[in-house]
Amino acid sequence: MKSMIMSLAGGREILSIPGPTTVPDRVLSAMHRPAVDIYSGPLVDLTDHCLAELRGLFAVGDGRAYIYAANGHGAWEAALSNVLSRGDRILVLESGRFAAGWGQMAGDLGVEVTTLAGDWRRAVDPAAVEDALRKDTEHRIKAILVVQVDTASGVVNDIPAIAAARAAAGHPALLMADCIASLACMPFDMAAWDVDVAVSGSQKGLMTPPGLGFVAARGRAFEAHGRADLRTRYWDWTERDGPEHYQKYCGTPPEHLLFGLTEALVMLREEGLDAVHARHRLLAGMVHAAVDGWSVPDGISCNVIDPAHRSPSVTTVLLPPGIDPETVRGAASRTCGVVLGSGIGALDGKGFRIAHMGHCNAGATLGVLGAVETALALVGIDHTPGGVQAAVRHLQEVTAKAG
Ligand SMILES: *Cc1c(COP(=O)(O)O)cnc(C)c1O
């Protein structure tokens, strides 16, 4: 007789992909309302409120923030086009796929791209950055592009250390940071770290549907903006700095996404940013404990070798050669209703990704890890059982310490 239980995937699906992330019911509800006037009234105040909150999240000091009806790629183009000119040289710091992708976009715009080759399993080495900048004696490099978290490799880069490397080299290049997979997941302090331009998006740590791109800029970024010849009307900061609300979005504001974002910002305030960061650190610790627990030599393992280089928001898991990661993702989805991220870029077909960013808690994370361990056994992938237990132990230890 056929088993009655074909699948345990009913009930609410648990989405564990690194963007878009789970949108809280409160955010969804906040969006479910009629459209409002875009020229006057509450929406104008709402824009001011969102911009002020974003300035705080980026910690941009006396700099400015911009909201685009765009995804992260749009925010990338916004950042590049506002401060660079055709023929400028930039230095891209590789630690996975995303800084390189941002650099390619700059190349398409007519910027000359130099890449500091890196390793998909390690963070950018600040000493190598300092060395590369010292060699640029004529200061031809106008900007440095780096991601705080590379969502493909699962690497977290030490942005203040990279800024310190630039300072040590006495180099005037702008430092431009992609915080799309890290803002509201871990500390970011643009003014204190002396980052000139930063970008983020709505659909990861900010728990809002995809469609909003954010850029923050300060100090020398505006000097570069004055000279930049890549500026176009849609992205141009100067157009958006004017008093007219309509121009702040270069057209109709993405109202409903703004309603959702506002609620997400309330949720972040209620929890407190430090607590939000601590939660991400704890959930990441649980995932890392599980993957290290499953790990076998030349088999399943964490892509990022040094625990200090592992992102608090996403973990990339490598599988042994010859195993199709889709079998694991398929089993987790069919059997448990858990959707894992696939490997992308150089890790396409080599592993899968577990997101622990945004609206997630220890219960969901344990559920995801339980689904992975179930799938590993179902697919027959060599692993050490007990990863979930290691995650539970990590959770117990950290919460016991916290009292
Ligand atoms: C998701 C992501 C992007 C791209 O964002 P989209 O909204 O998909 O365009 C860029 N950089 C990083 C680090 C990301 O995680």
Q: Mind spelling out the 3-state secondary structure of 301-351?
A: EECCCCHHHECCCEEEEECCCCCCHHHHHHHHHHHHCEEEEECCHHHCCCE
Which residue's CA lies nearest to atom 5 of ligand 1? 72
Which residue's CA lies nearest to atom 2 of ligand 1? 180
Contact between 326 and 387 (Cβ < 8 Å): no
In DSSP notation, 200-256 reads EETTSTT-S-S-EEEEEE-THHHHHHHH-S---TTT-HHHHHSS-HHHHTTSS--HH
**Residue-level pLDDT at 403:** 76
**76 alpha carbon – ligand 1 mean position (Å):** 9
**306 alpha carbon – ligand 1 mean position (Å):** 24
Omega before residue 126 within 30° of 0, cis: no
Residue 205 has pLDDT above 90, yes or no: yes
**324 alpha carbon – ligand 1 mean position (Å):** 25
Under the banding of pLDDT at 50, 70 and 90, the label for residue 7 is confident
The overall longest dimension of the chain from CA atoms, in Å, is 77
**181 alpha carbon – ligand 1 mean position (Å):** 7
**177 alpha carbon – ligand 1 mean position (Å):** 12
Q: What is the per-residue pLDDT across 369-384, written as a single tens digit (0 to 9) for each?
A: 999 999 999 999 999 9
User: Is any ligand 1 atom within 6 A of the Cβ of residue 201?
Assistant: yes
User: Is any ligand 1 atom within 6 A of the Cβ of residue 314?
Assistant: no
**343 alpha carbon – ligand 1 mean position (Å):** 14
Q: What is the per-residue pLDDT across 81-114, written as a single tens digit (0 to 9) for each?
A: 999 999 999 999 999 999 999 999 999 999 999 9
Residue 317 has pLDDT above 70, yes or no: yes
Tell me the best of 159, 179, 180 to mutate to test the pocket of ligand 1, counting ligand atoms within 8 Å of each CB and taking the most: 180
Tell how far CA 122 is from the center of its chain.
Answer: 17
**Residue-level pLDDT at 9:** 82
Which residue's CA lies nearest to atom 6 of ligand 1? 72
Q: Which residue segments constitute the domains of the chain, with CATH numbers given?
A: 2-22+273-402 (3.90.1150.10), 33-268 (3.40.640.10)
Query: How far apart are alpha carbons 131 and 22 in whole angstroms?
Result: 41
**73 alpha carbon – ligand 1 mean position (Å):** 6
**112 alpha carbon – ligand 1 mean position (Å):** 22
**Residue-level pLDDT at 6:** 61
Query: Looking at 7-140, which runs of residues are DSSP E strands?
Result: 14-16, 64-69, 89-93, 112-116
Nearest-atom number in ligand 1 for the CA of 19 is 1
Q: What is the mean pLDDT of residues 242-263?
A: 97
Rounded to the nearest integer, the mean pLDDT of the chain is: 96
Among 386, 387, 380, 373, smallest CA distance to 335 is for 373
Which residue's CA lies nearest to atom 10 of ligand 1? 72
Among 174, 204, 203, smallest CA distance to 186 is for 204
User: Is any ligand 1 atom within 6 A of the Cβ of residue 68?
Assistant: no
Q: What is the mean pLDDT of residues 24-44?
A: 96
The residue written with tokens 């972040």 in the block is 268
Q: What is the per-residue pLDDT across 212-248, written as a single tens digit (0 to 9) for each?
A: 999 999 999 999 999 999 999 999 999 999 999 999 9
**Residue-level pLDDT at 295:** 98
